[in-house]
Amino acid sequence: MDSDNVLEIKHLSVAVGDKEILHDINLNIKTGETHVLFGPNGSGKTTLIMTIMGSPKYQVTKGSIIFGGKDIVRLPMDERARLGIGMSLQRPPVVRGVKTRDMVAACAKGRLSPEAIDSLAEKANLTELMDREVNYGFSGGEIKRSELLQLLAQDPDLALLDEPESGVDLVNIALIGELMNELLQKVHPIRDRRHAGLIITHTGHILEYVNARSGYVLLNGRIVCEGDPHEILETIKRKGYEECKRCVA
């Protein structure tokens, strides 16, 4: 394997129950890189990143997921998180009784002082929500920012981001872009970054704020296209996913 790869997915097939959702997926991400997954609803984007994270709902029927040189297919989710994988959910659950502050502290696992957590919260414009229960009554934008705040505290080597911009207004999207750039250490040149990212985007808006190296199109559980994310986005914008289908055919 290429030792620069933080994530290497080989011939991965994934099923939910009896139904195979993903077929023979191959994908490599090097340290410091950000990749983007495009695809219509139901194409398997969320399935792919949930499988990388280790959600028990998704069974790997074939292939391997190598993270930091180690096959993690059999590891439970929490161990994967502790190895350095983090994920922001599109629709995270409300956790009643658990304050956002405590959740962020749990993500930091003692690495951050309360003051450092406060300053991260300020950056995410969430200071006023820190004593509220996690995701309880949060707006769409607040949920996304809270997810990113948790990831910033967790400091994962690989961040999996499921539609970080969906349901977010234009004012918030710039802030979300900033938080993602911080999470993915975009301020540094690629050779100095430790963090990599895999972003699911439906609309591609986030690409106006966050630079990405590679894009993939997922159709019916297969990666059908790989290339420059901006070019892929342009094609999708102009011709829709129909063009991708034709291209594959």
Q: Find the binder of another protein among 21, 29, 89, 225 (CB under 8 A).
A: 89
Q: Find the binder of another protein among 22, 29, 107, 161 (CB under 8 A).
A: 107
Alpha carbon distance 32, 30 (integer Å): 6
Phi, psi (degrees; rounded to nearest 5) at 71: -75, 120
Q: Find the binder of another protein among 25, 29, 49, 81 (CB under 8 A).
A: 81
* Shortest Å distance, C-beta 115 to another protein: 20
Q: Find the binder of another protein among 4, 24, 42, 109 (CB under 8 A).
A: 109
Residues between 125 and 144 with contacts to another protein, criterion CB under 8 A: 133
Query: Residue 111 interacts with another protein (CB under 8 A)?
Result: no
Alpha-carbon distances of 220 from 41, 43, 58, rounded to whole Å: 10, 5, 16
| Range in contact with another protein (rule: CB under 8 A) among 6-14, 100-108, 110-118, 195-203 | 100-108
- Is residue 42 a contact partner of residue 98, using CB atoms and an 8 Å limit? no
Question: How far does the chain reach from its first CA to its final CA, in angstroms?
Answer: 31
Query: Residue 55 interacts with another protein (CB under 8 A)?
Result: yes
Q: Which of 57, 52, 54 is nearest to 25 (CA)?
A: 52
Alpha carbon distance 233, 202 (integer Å): 10
Total site size for another protein, rule CB under 8 A:
25
Query: Residue 68 interacts with another protein (CB under 8 A)?
Result: no
Phi, psi (degrees; rounded to nearest 5) at 216: -130, 150
Write out the residues near another protein by the rule CB under 8 A.
53, 55-56, 76-78, 81-82, 86-87, 89, 92-93, 95-98, 102-103, 106-107, 109, 133, 150, 154
